[in-house]
């Protein structure tokens, strides 16, 4: 199995940031960097498309030398034309962290310096701090009881997830406000109980479709992090040994044969989880699936979850983000920063209040000019003249692999 280091969990958080920044030391383009405001330059627009923050851009018109963008050679065929100024903005990325805190999170994987729960907190702290100006976060822990701390050795109330708004420990708000709240909630909690993943995702679905998350502006995501297979389904469920989580975890004595006889809540609850993930996708809420140490026996199920969630790992197998115990917390943070600009990008670019002349617009992805072609490269529709939409293979590539940068150049005849 080709796996990220265990540190890769925090890396996934940064996948939503759009961390690539451009410098402003020459007249190279109108540069917009998510969350930090724009820098007025001269020719074209470098759009940092990580969904994060708002970018305001203003610039000068009429440069005769032609577009140059920091980090890119002069765009072919666009070297003798002027430009006009624009204002571009991006919607925020709203990320609900849905985090498994079942009893197994108290385990310490072989060769790892911390227990999984402590490592998770140690990795998330710098990840949230680095992303707080460019993302919005919320937190849902599961299982969770409002009345009592669920113990490690749990016999009753092991699968609780509160109903409605009470399910969220932290409502989604700007990272500047929420990062410290998320960490405080994690520090106040501890591992215990089963793995009611379906119930947790149902609470996330309620939040995004009926609750306060319904009115959030911008892209919305669930980041599901679990260290085992989902259970806590109907206690009356009957399942064979190969669908029983204690058996799959190697915790069932051989003499027992099937530890789920009479304990249906231990049966693998994969069908219910798939249903909730698909419902989230139908509500335009993709789900990232992160499997931290302990999920190896459930790879085929987590692969299915990741595929249904719509944002599988674009460059590795398995489809979910499998993390191992190697590398430690420092390695997790390094991995995170290495991969964050390559995962999630929007195919829509807000061009500001003034609609450009479509005949004088050009688009480049990672410095490669994308020719205009109906339904294939990009489009600005008459119904939405202020929004540029990447299309066809170009959009599919950006969604699948991401992009370091997208540039929109104004004033030059469109390359077709």
pLDDT tens for residues 357-401? 888 888 888 778 888 887 688 988 888 888 888 888 888 877 766
As a whole number, mean pLDDT of residues 171-184 equals: 93
Question: Which pLDDT value is given to residue 83?
Answer: 53
d(CA 341, CA 17): 7
Q: Report the distance separating Cα 328 and Cα 293, nearest Å.
A: 12
Query: Using one digit for the tens of pLDDT, what is the confidence trace for 80-95?
Result: 665 543 333 445 678 8
Weakest-pLDDT range from 17-21, 148-152, 232-236, 270-274:
17-21
pLDDT single digits (tens) 117-134: 998 888 888 878 877 777
Residue 101 confidence class, pLDDT cut points 50, 70, 90: very high
Domain boundaries, the chain: 4-14+92-233+269-341, 30-50+56-89+347-410
Q: Where does the pLDDT of residue 254 fall: very low under 50, low under 70, confident under 90, or very high at 90 and above?
A: confident
Question: In this structure, how many other beta carbons lie within 10 angstroms of the beta carbon of residue 138?
Answer: 24
- Give the pLDDT band (50/70/90) at residue 180: very high
Strand order in the sheet with 387-390: 348-350, 387-390, 378-379
Query: Which is more confident, 26 or 399?
Result: 399
Least confident of 41-50, 65-74, 132-141: 41-50
Q: Is the pLDDT of residue 272 over 90?
A: yes
Residue 104: its pLDDT value, please? 92
Residue 409's DSSP bridge partners are: 362
Domain 4-14+92-233+269-341 is of which CATH architecture?
Answer: 3-Layer(aba) Sandwich (3.40)
Percent of the chain with pLDDT over 70: 69
When pLDDT is cut at 50, 70 and 90, the band that residue 150 belongs to is very high
Q: Which band of pLDDT confidence, cut at 50, 70 and 90, is reported for residue 354?
A: confident
| pLDDT, the chain, mean | 75
CA distances 3 to 69, 119, 317, Å, are: 36, 18, 8
Measure CA 269 to chain center.
24
SS3 of 331-352: the string is: HHHHHHHHHHHHCCCCCEEECC
| Per-residue pLDDT, 181 | 96
Q: Residues 372, 47: contact at Cβ < 8 Å?
A: no
pLDDT value of residue 58: 29
């Amino acid at each position: 199995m080709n796996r990220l280091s265990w540190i890769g969990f925090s890396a996934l958080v940064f996948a939503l940031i759009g961390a690539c920044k451009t410098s402003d030391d020459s007249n190279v383009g109108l540069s917009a960097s998510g969350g930090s405001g724009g820098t007025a330059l001269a020719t074209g627009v470098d759009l940092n498309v990580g969904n994060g923050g708002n970018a305001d851009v203003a610039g000068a018109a009429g440069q005769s030398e032609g577009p140059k963008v920091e980090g890119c050679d002069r765009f072919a065929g666009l070297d003798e034309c002027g430009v006009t100024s624009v204002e571009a903005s991006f919607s925020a990325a709203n990320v609900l962290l849905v985090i498994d805190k079942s009893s197994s999170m108290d385990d310490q994987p072989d060769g790892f310096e911390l227990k999984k729960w402590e490592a998770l907190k140690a990795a998330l702290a710098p990840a949230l701090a680095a992303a707080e100006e460019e993302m919005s976060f919320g937190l849902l822990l599961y299982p969770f009881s409002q009345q009592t701390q669920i113990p490690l050795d749990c016999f009753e109330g092991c699968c609780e997830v509160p109903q409605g708004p009470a399910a969220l420990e932290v409502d989604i708000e700007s990272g500047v406000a929420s990062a410290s709240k998320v960490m405080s909630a994690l520090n106040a909690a501890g591992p215990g109980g089963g793995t009611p993943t379906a119930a947790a995702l149902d609470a996330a679905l309620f939040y995004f479709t009926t609750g306060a998350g319904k009115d959030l502006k911008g892209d919305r995501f669930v980041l599901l992090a679990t260290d085992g297979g989902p259970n806590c389904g109907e206690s009356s469920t009957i399942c064979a040994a190969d669908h029983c989580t204690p058996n799959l975890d190697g915790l069932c004595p051989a003499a027992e044969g099937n530890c789920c006889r009479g304990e249906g809540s231990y049966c693998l609850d994969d069908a219910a989880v798939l249903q909730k993930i698909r419902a989230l996708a139908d509500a335009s809420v993709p789900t990232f699936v992160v499997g931290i140490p302990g999920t190896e026996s459930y790879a085929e199920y987590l692969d299915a979850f990741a595929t249904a969630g719509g944002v599988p790992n674009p460059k590795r197998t398995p489809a979910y983000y499998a993390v191992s115990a190697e590398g430690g917390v420092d390695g997790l943070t390094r991995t995170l920063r290495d991969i964050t600009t390559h995962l999630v990008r929007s195919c829509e670019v807000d061009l500001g209040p003034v609609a450009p002349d479509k005949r004088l617009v050009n688009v480049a992805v990672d410095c490669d000019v994308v020719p205009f072609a109906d339904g294939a490269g990009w489009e600005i529709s008459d119904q939405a003249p202020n929004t540029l939409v990447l299309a066809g293979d170009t959009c599919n590539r950006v969604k699948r692999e991401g992009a370091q940068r997208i540039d929109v150049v104004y004033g030059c005849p469109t390359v077709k």
